[in-house]
Structure 1
Amino acid sequence: MRNNKKYRKNAWMGLVMSAVLLTGSVLTGCSEKETTYPDGNINVIVSAKAGGDTDTYARILSKYMEKELGVTLTVTNKDSAIAGTREVHNAEPDGYTVEFFHASSILTKVVGTTDIGALDQKICSVPVSDSTQTLVIPAAKYKDIDDFVARAQSGEEVIASVNQGSYAHLACVLLEKAIDASNFKYVDSQNASERIVDMLAGRIDLFFAPYGTIQQYVESGDFISLGLLADERNEYLPDVPTLKEQGYDITLEKYFYFAFPPETDDKIVNTFASAIEKAVQNTECIDAFKTYSIVPEYHSPEDSVKILENAEKSYEQYKDVLTGN
């Protein structure tokens, strides 16, 4: 009888220990799964149409980041920048949806076009700062920058093609102020492709674009670049002057960023940021960007937030001009 009780007691203790071990194993398994990131493909939302600079830079970075993360980064384009930013903002903060866009999302929030911008997301990195942005005029109408400025200052109308409240709009406003003109007429357009067609057809007088987008038209003699909106010349474009060196103090760098939904865990963000840092140091990635006269450079999440916050402060001063108030 005593042996039976002892047997039952030992059997019970064995069951308890098995349950404890099983529970510990399950919990350990869950813990390992939670800390393993990424373990699936990542959707990169590009808040712009395919074929432009935003799409191109996203695809270059994604290609070399895949080698670091060991998973596929699928680029998904959105026709509407606002829709893309909002989709990422509302996505599950699990690290598998990330936005690649530029700081015009901050500008559109400043002017009231949207209520969500880059700084409402969890910023991961600013890996590209494009200093090749330029303002373009038609060679069929103007001789050079001096001719353009003189005619604009005399009261001749300048038709500027922009996307209201965007970088393109701000760049043209900055030029109008810098040359002390007040006769710019702003017409709406969505992208550089539309503006190129309109300028070749003689319908517009001015637009803003990356130099690489319009370089062939400058070399063919169809367009004239007024100069880069940068503090100094681009190392890959040594013969292209800046507007600043020509006496017009206009600078407008275009900051491209990766951002996650706002509640994304810092460990996920840092893992993704580490992949960006390694990718932009890859010589093949550097060469791919060289094609577009761009030097990629990693910035940490903290430094990237500061860059975008400074951009926001600079945009605030032009709010009334851009909104017509």
Structure 2
Amino acid sequence: MKKALVLMLVCILMTVAFTGCAQETGTSEGQETSDYSKWPQKTIQIIAPYNPGGDTDFNARAYAQFLTEELGQPVVVSNVNGSGGVVGSRTVKEANPDGYTVLFMHPALLINELAGTADYGIEDFEYVATSGVVPGETITVHKNSGFKNLEDLIKYSQEHPGKINVSADMATMTHIMALQLQEAGANINIVSAGGASDRVAALLGGHIDVIINSYGTIADYLETGDFVALGQTNLERSKGFPDIAPAKEQGYDVYFEKYYFFAMPKGTPQEIINRFSEAVKNVSENPEYADMIFKSYRQTPLYKPAKEGLEDILRIKEDIQIFKEHFM
């Protein structure tokens, strides 16, 4: 009888202990989920892989300003320049996948991979959202050149082979567009003059003949008449500068869609990705944000969720494969 009673008590104690452990485990799992729901709890760092002063830096900072309001934590931009964007993108790729280090970039990441300067691609990140698009890079010359359109430039280059120097940041989108100019018949030299702000300085100083820059970086000089825009690289005229004809409209296949996007390290929890993407969408619909980017770069807001945005990027990746031999 006593033995039976002791055995019963042991069973009851084991049952209580097991139930307690199960409840404790359940609490732990619930806490982990709750932690994701509480994200963010500290400063978020956006890595812009280029120097301050260019269009990528501007757009990253414009978003950071409004994302701080959306997410309730500071969102700061760090410029991590080097190797045409590789240093910055690698910094994010190797960061902890906790949602506190975010890449802000564009299809230059694809060209880095194509050129072999990066041994990884967009598939090695968690694509968060497409957050904007450049309304056409602008093919620009100094007023002293006398060129009025792309036909003038190409004709002169053919009559004076090797005399025209076009600046392009090697293994980037500007390099692709400079190669497209060559394929369109321009007899030009492609040389490096640094990032967007460096190229502007080089053109002003007469050290380069042609630059391919976003509108915002050259707008002031177009207004003063120091620079002349020969064409832009979107397929259609921009609402922001409708007087600048696309190269395609002028009969030349020089075009490239420059989408900005956010990406996070591989393995970042989907709950965090969704929350950040939602915040990006809200910013893109904010009239103050729209006014800021239009005044500075003649941009209009664009947001695409991960699946749709990634499809665009992968299409561009396929399109640029024809230039691979130029980077080998």
Listed as ranges, the gaps of 5+ residues in structure 1 are none
* Corresponding residue for residue 59 of structure 1: 61
Q: Which amino acid aligns with 1:310?
A: R
- Give 1:311's aligned amino acid: I
The 1:24–1:107 alpha-carbon spacing in structure 2 relative to 1, beyond 3 Å, is closer
- What SS does the corresponding residue of 2:221 show, helix, strand or coil? helix
- Alignment equivalent of 2:299, drawn from 294, 298, 304: 294
2:196 paired with 1:172: no
- The CA RMSD measured in Å over matched residues stands at 2.4
SS at match of 1:49: coil
Residue equivalent to 1:232? 236
Q: Which amino acid counterpart does residue 161 of structure 1 have in structure 2?
A: S
Does the aligned pair in 2 maintain the 1:159–1:187 contact within 8 Å?
A: yes
1:13 & 1:201 partners in 2: Cα distance? 84
1:109 match: secondary structure: helix
**How many angstroms does 1:14 deviate by?**
11
- Per the alignment, residue 304 of structure 1 pairs with 309
Aligned to 1:38: 40
Q: Which of 245, 262, 269 is matched with 1:265 structurally?
A: 269
Pairwise mapping of residues 83-94 of structure 1 onto structure 2 (< 5 A)?
A: 83-94=87-98
Tell me if the contact between 2:168 and 2:191 (Cα under 8 Å) persists in the aligned partners.
yes
Alignment of 1:37-116 (within 5 A): 37-80=39-82, 81-116=85-120
Match of 1:127 in 2: 131
Give the distance between the partners of 2:266 and 2:244, measured in 1 at CA.
40
- Out of 238-247 and 277-286, give the one that drifted further: 238-247
Identity %: 29
Q: Do the aligned partners of 1:41 and 1:73 also contact (CA within 8 Å) in 2?
A: yes
Distance in 1, matches of 2:218 and 2:194, equals 16
CA change 1:12–1:113 in 2 (3 A) is closer
Residue 192 of structure 1, CA deviation: 2.2
**By how many angstroms is 1:109 displaced?**
0.9
1:267–1:155 CA distance, 2 compared to 1 (3 A): same
Residue by residue, what CA displacement relative to the aligned partner does 1:103-134 show, whole Å, maximum 9, x if unpaired? 11111211212212333211111111112311
**Whole-angstrom CA distance in 2 between matches of 1:55 and 1:274:** 21
**Which stretches in structure 2 are left out of the alignment for 5+ residues?**
none
Match of 2:140 among 117, 122, 136: 136
1:13-61 deviation per Cα after TM superposition (whole angstroms, max 9, x unaligned): 8974766656654554344224432222211111111221111101111
Decide whether the 8 Å contact of 2:86 with 2:109 is kept in 1: yes
CA distance in 2, matches of 1:114, 1:20: 47
Given that residues 85 and 117 in structure 1 are in contact (C-alpha distance below 8 angstroms), is that contact kept between their aligned partners in structure 2?
Answer: no
Q: TM-score, normalised by structure 1?
A: 0.89
Aligned length: 318
Q: 1:248 to 1:299 in 2, by over 3 A?
A: same
Tell which deviates more after alignment, 294-303 or 15-24.
15-24
3-state SS, counterpart of residue 119 of structure 1: helix
TM-score scaled by structure 2?
A: 0.88
Matched letter for residue 238 of structure 1: P
Aligned partner of 1:248 in structure 2 is 252
Q: Tell whether 2:206 aligns with 1:188.
A: no
Shift of 1:250: 2.0
Choose the corresponding residue for 2:319, options 292, 303, 314: 314
